[in-house]
Amino acid sequence: MNIFLNKKILLIICGGIAAYKSLEIIRLLKKRGCQVKTILTRNATKFVTPLSAASLSQEKVYTDLFDEDNEAEMDHISLSRWADIVLIAPATANTISKISSGSADDLASTVILASNKDIFLAPAMNVRMWEHPANKDNLIKIKNLGYRIIGPEIGDMACGEYGEGKMTEPNQIIKAIEIFFNNKNQNQKFKAIVTAGPTQEFLDPVRFITNKSSGKQGFAIAESLRDNGFDTTLITGPTNLKDIADIKIIKIKTAKEMLDETLSNLPVDVAIFSAAVADFKINNVGKQKIKKEKNLNLILERNIDILSHISNHNSLRPKLVVGFAAETDNLEKNSKKKLDEKGCDWIIANDVSKSNIGFNSDYNEVNIFYKNMTNELIPITKKKIIAEEIVKRIISQIN
């Protein structure tokens, strides 16, 4: 099957000597049956002509933000909506810097900022520019924003120097995009459930017991599953997070509601239990508000463990069941115990005693404990990147 057939690629060519290779990218994409529209930045037109790009792509080429003829036909918003993916090749240090600061002063940067699609960058620049701390900071920033970086490679440069900064060869860029499309396509047959956020256990109609979970890690995992083609359901306790497009979101309050919704959304191929479920609920929730008394004695009873229940389900157990562990001490021992006792396939543990990661932070550091393999550390990084790393491992496991 030709995964490229009828795919729409928006190619942005920036001003660098590697721009001449981008003509080869157009040729290879066209050969595979893609529709390719091209934007040339002003500097790119000094390296390749719009006519060459137009001849190879058999499409009009866009060069300036205020081209009234082209704008009337297809403006910067429709250009980015039209595409299945955006490829920036070569991506210069200047373009990377503009993306990282959100600047939009020409057609290319405006389209990038306005895009709602997956964006790939194939950087190309002199080795000193590549290694410059400012460029490295910009790269970290844009990676955290979800941009996908291809290369660069190490080798002889057009400027006569040697080092890292050469644009990845066109056929390798095509290969990276092919892997992306293949993953998306292959995963479309898979269904996933993610639980996230805290639960609330009511004492009376106005009061409840809850915890500090923000839901950020679970939401990031659900989003990454969606980006990789999974049909995703997110079952979440109350959070301040925005809904994620194109996934089914079910909002619950109590652990019992989370369990019921999980069960009624099975079967799935993968279930990830990242919610901080309250371990206890109040026995006999009153219909009236509890009145002030000298002391209040609450009787708490155990909530059912959703992760254990689903892991041990006779008929509805997903192929892959992943639990989380929030630990303040003895992380390895407690996580391994949870892995054994709950019957799941992996436990992803985070140390919630550290103030800079875990609960409410945008950052996390996790240790993945597998049933039959040694554990693996994903060092501190944005929760979004942790989510992508986890989803990568899920994909390789279920495929």
First vs last C-alpha separation in the chain: 18
Among the listed ranges 62-70, 83-91, 139-147, 271-279, the one in contact with ligand CTP (CB under 6 A) is: 271-279
Q: 108: how many CB neighbours lie within 10 A of its CB?
A: 28
> Minimum Å distance from CB 310 to ligand CTP?
8
Return the residue of 277, 320, 321, 378 that touches ligand CTP, per CB under 6 A. 277
Please report how close the Cβ of residue 284 comes to ligand CTP at its closest, in angstroms: 19
Count CB atoms within 10 A of the CB of residue 335.
23
Nearer of residues 165 and 323 to ligand CTP, judged by Cβ: 323
305 part of the interface to ligand CTP, by CB under 6 A: yes
**Window 182 to 221, contacts with ligand CTP (CB under 6 A):** 195
Cβ at position 309, least distance to ligand CTP in Å = 8
Interatomic CA distance for residues 128 and 226, integer angstroms = 37
Cα separations (Å) of 211 from 240, 329, 359?
14, 18, 9
Smaller CB distance to ligand CTP: residue 307 or 391?
A: 307
Q: How far is the CB of 283 from ligand CTP (least distance, A)?
A: 16
- What φ, ψ does residue 13 adopt, rounded to 5°? -105, 125
Give yes or no: 159 in active site: yes
Angle between helices 50-57 and 19-31 (to 10 degrees): 10
Q: Rule CB under 6 A: say whether 352 interacts with ligand CTP.
A: no
Binding test (CB under 6 A) with ligand CTP, winner from 131, 279, 301, 332: 279
Q: Which stretch binds ligand CTP (CB under 6 A): 110-118, 167-175, 284-292, 323-331?
A: 323-331
Q: How far is the CB of 367 from ligand CTP (least distance, A)?
A: 13
Q: Judge contact between 299 and 220, C-beta under 8 A.
A: no
Binding mask 367-386 for ligand CTP (x = CB under 6 A): --------------------
What are the b/e assignments for 17-35, b being 16+ CB within 10 Å? Answer: ebbebbbebbebbbebebb
Return the number of the residue (132 or 336) whose C-beta is nearest ligand CTP: 336
Phi, psi of 200 (to 5 degrees): -120, 130
Considering only 34, 139, 173, 307, the residue that binds ligand CTP (CB under 6 A) is 307
Pick between residue 168 and residue 262 the one whose CB is nearest to ligand CTP.
Answer: 262
Q: Is 252 helix (H, G, I), strand (E, B) or coil?
A: coil
Q: How far is the CB of 121 from ligand CTP (least distance, A)?
A: 35
Q: Does 311 bind ligand CTP (CB under 6 A)?
A: no
**Rounded Cα distance, 320 and 397, in Å:** 8
Near ligand CTP in 63-122, by CB under 6 A: none
Residue 325 binds ligand CTP, judged by CB under 6 A = yes
Q: Which of 218, 202, 390, 195 is nearest to 311 (CA)?
A: 195
Q: Does 275 bind ligand CTP (CB under 6 A)?
A: yes
Residue 347 and residue 161: Cα distance in Å, rounded?
Answer: 47
Candidate segments 58-66, 77-85, 94-102, 269-277, binder of ligand CTP by CB under 6 A: 269-277
If one asks whether residue 255 binds ligand CTP (CB under 6 A), the answer comes out as yes
- One DSSP character per residue, 80-141 reads HHH-SEEEEEEE-HHHHHHHHHT---SHHHHHHHH--SEEEEEE---HHHHH-HHHHHHHHH
Question: Is 340 an interacting residue with respect to ligand CTP (CB under 6 A)?
Answer: no
Please count the CA atoms within 13 angstroms of the CA of 53 that sit on its side-chain side.
Answer: 27
| Residues β-bridged to residue 378 | 366
User: How many residues make contact with ligand CTP (CB under 6 A)?
Assistant: 16
261 touching ligand CTP, by CB under 6 A: no
In contact, 147 and 138? CB cutoff 8 Å: no
Shortest approach of ligand CTP to residue 145 CB, angstroms?
Answer: 28
Tell me which residues are annotated as active site: 159
**Residue numbers at the binding site for ligand CTP (CB under 6 A):** 195, 255, 273, 275-277, 279, 303, 305-307, 323-326, 338
